[in-house]
Structure 1
Amino acid sequence: MRRDQAEDECAAPRHDGRRGFLKCAAGIAGVAAAGIGGPAAAAADRPVGGLRDGGLLPDKVPFHGDHQAGIVTPQQLFAGFVGFDVLAQDRDGLISLFQRLTRRSRVLAAGVKPQDEQVASEEPTPDSLSITLGVGASLFDDRFGLSGHKPRHLKAMPAFPDDRLEPARCHGDLSLQVCAQHPDAVVHVLRDLARETEGLLRPRWRADAFLNPSRPSGSPRTFVGFKDGIVNPDTGSAREMDRLLWVTPPCGEPDWALGGSYQVLRLIRFQIEKWDKVPLARQEKIFGRRKASGAPLDGTRESDVPRYREDPHGSKIPLNSHIRLANPRTEKTENSRFLRRSYNYDAGYDSKGQMDLGLVFCGYQQDPERQFATVQRRLRHEPLSEFITPIGGGYFFILPGVRDADDWFGSRLLQKT
């Protein structure tokens, strides 16, 4: 399939339906028909404020800053991802939408509970809440006068060779990521924002997700049993973040986009029944890691660096293993690395009685073509692709941070254009 055909196949719908947001409440308060997953208790035994990715989660994640929270924030236990279509009729309506989202997000991030969750007899629980807002390529059409101000690399996510994308689970004018230490906190926030933005947004797809325990330690595991997110850029290095994550002046992006980042979301279903029949030794060769420890096949600990130069023919770590294709660890491929912040999903059983389990892949980067798409091309037809199927998601641009109490999401885009 040609790339332009793939983009057309999953193109966003026309914006001629102006139904109210709450008429689609099933897409927010519950699992949407085109959505994935529901809160799971699997991660509930992780302590609030526990160590994740080398950082201690505060009870309240700061809302203001040069960059939005929820990107380099240590990963919370639960997340909700929603793709929206904007129903605002004009530019003033879009400004009102962004200002309403900012106002409520600021209040909620400060620890004020949503109206439906307020119970006077109970002490509020710390949720380490973060709310992260992105924009899709479809927002930059003629509706709001933004067509000449789109970020350089923002486009509809193409279908890659191993994808089976479902249009109802792709793209959107906006991307909303809500992360917290409790699953109900995610739902309460989505309900709150639905009330605040009534008539201005329509949910397109939704995915509820969570982290599995690491068992016994180290990185968390996915439902194929292997540890995930072992290797990531150093979020504590400003130099590395400016090279791989944040939009900076040398990137040649519009001025309003400085401080933002590109988000790639991928809804990936596992063919779990098929995978469970694969012998352990073959599973480990497919990944290039030990299932129990997470160590590369030439190492003993998950933190060990694979020694590819000492294994040029792939006798220890196969040349077509997932970790070797995804990150060959060469000088040439260094700039294709990006920050992973993925979660698991469990959507029960499908109509054929098969378990609907998978991964909400979430990646942040400076340029999705240089980074995510380049890695994806290296992974084309990898052995793992026989057992996983990308079915949805999208490319989004995460807006720069809300700088202070007078600022709001997208202010630099909508005030200067």
Structure 2
Amino acid sequence: MTDTPEPNAGGLRRRGFLRGAALGVGAVGAVAGGAAALAGGPASAATPIPTPTPQVDFHGLHQAGIVEPVQRFTAFLSFDVTATDRAGLTELMRTVTDRARFLTTGGTPAAVGITNSPSDSGTLGPDVPGDGLRATVGVGASLFDDRFGLADRKPARLSAMPAFDDDLDPAWCHGDLSLQFSAPDADTVLHALRDVARHTRGGMQVRWRMDGFTSPPRPSGTPRNHLGFKDGTANPDISDPAVANRLLWANGAGEPAWTTGGSYQVVRLIRMLVEFWDRVSITEQERMFGRSKASGAPLDGTDEFDKPKFAQDPSGDVIPLDSHIRMANPRTAQSDDSQILRRGYNYDRGMDSDGNLDMGLIFVCYQKDLARQFEMVQKRLAGEPLVDYVSPFGGGYFFALPGVRDRGDWLGRTLLD
């Protein structure tokens, strides 16, 4: 005869097990605490309060997030506008501006009645810290079709991003609007995404999204990408206004007047075939880049920021003629005029369907002229040895809007007014 268990006996046994496990954990904690006390250390320590990140003023001639140092975490999104007319687009841009202003400045979310849904997700607590959050908004070429009557206002050099011998996936390319949030903490970025998604429902729909991060400089200097090399060492010195005006900002020359203060934004989603790369010898890796992997210095130098001496190595005996740094920027008068401001982030999406590591780079750069700068660099890089280890699959061209001048201004006002 089979014994019949008493009702809920399994549940009782499970609760007893969990209670015993909890007691066991408590006992281990007590022993650990006692050991710490005997060693002269505290049995427990309060979680340290993070040091606030300096806030960047939301208002100004240019948007934040372009020239400031790269943050630890980012999310880059492309949107299709679902608003059906120019009034709807205007309302959308006003809403995006209002939310970005609040999120980057910080404050207490509006109080609501007990029967209403909360006005904030609460993931950052009852008060929203600015936390150094930056928001950067751009417009794509498709926004200037016949939906909103903006065709005659399109930035002169804005188009859909072409393929440069890439394997582009249409689902990961282009878009009407771009939005990048970046901050020192991942939860700050995700909180901002949820907030904007909530307030713009019906006005725009995510087309694609990629989250990224940067690593601390190891051991110093510029952060590294997933190939182990420093990324962005040779950026131009845009702290010099003359350099910034020459290479970065639209200033009305051949452009619609409303674009002044904006900049052309390129986003490239580049998968790095790290498992193949990790089997390549260090010597070959360094010759492909033209730099030391450890220090970041050019192969004819000792410091990361040493300028390579190409003129003294015309045959490429030290730095190969087909190395990345030599092809990207040959250090000639023409190439000096095609410099770009890089703002790259690493990404990691786990594994692909074949079980391979899926990681790479969110390449973001800003410039005054796409053809003269980014596209010129891309043409020079055609066929470089590094192409066997990277696979661009998405991204797009956008125009980062001029900044918001004051509290009465909003992103895209000069375009839509």
Q: TM-score range by the shorter chain?
A: 0.7 to 0.9
- What amino acid is aligned across from residue 74 of structure 1 in structure 2? P
- What amino acid is aligned across from residue 405 of structure 1 in structure 2? R
Query: 1:138 and 2:142 equivalent?
Result: yes
Matched length = 358
1:235 is displaced (CA, Å) by 2.1
Paired residues for 1:16-415 under 5 Å:
59-112=54-107, 115-117=120-122, 127-161=131-165, 163-249=166-252, 251-415=253-417
Q: Secondary structure at the match of 1:203?
A: strand
State the partner residue of 1:11.
Answer: none
- What is the rounded CA distance, in whole Å, between the counterparts of 1:315 and 1:119 in structure 2? 55
Q: Which string of whole-angstrom CA distances, capped at 9 and with x for unpartnered residues, describes residues 56-114 of structure 1?
A: xx521110000000001121111110000000010000000000001111111112367
- What is the rounded CA distance, in whole Å, between the counterparts of 2:51 and 2:282 in structure 1? 34
Q: Secondary structure at the match of 1:369?
A: coil
- What amino acid is aligned across from residue 72 of structure 2 in structure 1? L
1:332 is displaced (CA, Å) by 1.6
The TM-score, its normalising length taken from structure 2, stands at 0.84
Q: Which string of whole-angstrom CA distances, capped at 9 and with x for unpartnered residues, describes residues 292-341 of structure 1?
A: 01010001110111000100000000000000001111112111001000
- What is the rounded CA distance, in whole Å, between the counterparts of 1:131 and 1:146 in structure 2? 24
State the partner residue of 1:20.
Answer: none
Following superposition, which runs of at least 4 residues in structure 1 exceed 3 angstroms of deviation? Answer: 118-121, 123-126
State the partner residue of 2:16.
Answer: none
After superposition, the CA RMSD in angstroms is 1.4
Q: Secondary structure at the match of 1:116?
A: coil
Q: Do the aligned residues in 1 keep the contact of 2:344 with 2:361 (CA within 8 Å)?
A: yes
Q: Do the aligned residues in 1 keep the contact of 2:217 with 2:224 (CA within 8 Å)?
A: yes
- What is the rounded CA distance, in whole Å, between the counterparts of 2:100 and 2:349 in structure 1? 28
Q: Do the aligned residues in 1 keep the contact of 2:124 with 2:187 (CA within 8 Å)?
A: no
Q: Do the aligned residues in 2 keep the contact of 1:85 with 1:174 (CA within 8 Å)?
A: yes
- What is the rounded CA distance, in whole Å, between the counterparts of 1:84 and 1:124 in structure 2? 25
- Structure of greater Rg: 2
- What is the rounded CA distance, in whole Å, between the counterparts of 1:85 and 1:217 in structure 2? 40
Q: Do the aligned residues in 1 keep the contact of 2:105 with 2:130 (CA within 8 Å)?
A: no
1:125 is displaced (CA, Å) by 5.3
Q: Secondary structure at the match of 1:294?
A: coil
Q: Which string of whole-angstrom CA distances, capped at 9 and with x for unpartnered residues, describes residues 125-162 of structure 1?
A: 5521100000000000110000111000100000002x
Q: Do the aligned residues in 2 keep the contact of 1:48 with 1:181 (CA within 8 Å)?
A: no
- What amino acid is aligned across from residue 121 of structure 2 in structure 1? D
Q: Do the aligned residues in 2 keep the contact of 1:322 with 1:379 (CA within 8 Å)?
A: yes
- What is the rounded CA distance, in whole Å, between the counterparts of 1:48 and 1:379 in structure 2? 42
Q: Secondary structure at the match of 2:121?
A: helix
Q: Do the aligned residues in 2 keep the contact of 1:311 with 1:317 (CA within 8 Å)?
A: yes
- What is the rounded CA distance, in whole Å, between the counterparts of 1:243 and 1:119 in structure 2? 40
The TM-score, its normalising length taken from structure 1, stands at 0.84
1:260 is displaced (CA, Å) by 0.5
- What is the rounded CA distance, in whole Å, between the counterparts of 2:51 and 2:177 in structure 1? 29
Q: 1:397 to 1:120 in 2, by over 3 A?
A: closer
- What amino acid is aligned across from residue 298 of structure 1 in structure 2? D
Q: Do the aligned residues in 1 keep the contact of 2:75 with 2:212 (CA within 8 Å)?
A: yes
Q: Which string of whole-angstrom CA distances, capped at 9 and with x for unpartnered residues, describes residues 35-55 of structure 1?
A: xxxxxxxxxxxx967xxxxxx
- What is the rounded CA distance, in whole Å, between the counterparts of 1:247 and 1:289 in structure 2? 33
Q: Please list every run of 5 or more consecutive structure 2 residues that lacks an aligned counterpart in the other structure.
A: 1-49, 110-119
1:120 is displaced (CA, Å) by 5.7
1:124 is displaced (CA, Å) by 5.9
Q: Please list every run of 5 or more consecutive structure 1 residues that lacks an aligned counterpart in the other structure.
A: 1-46, 50-57
- What is the rounded CA distance, in whole Å, between the counterparts of 1:48 and 1:131 in structure 2? 21
Q: 1:110 to 1:338 in 2, by over 3 A?
A: same
Q: Secondary structure at the match of 2:360?
A: strand
Q: Do the aligned residues in 2 keep the contact of 1:60 with 1:111 (CA within 8 Å)?
A: no
Q: Secondary structure at the match of 2:137?
A: strand
- What is the rounded CA distance, in whole Å, between the counterparts of 2:201 and 2:101 in structure 1? 18
- What amino acid is aligned across from residue 177 of structure 1 in structure 2? Q
Q: Secondary structure at the match of 2:90?
A: helix
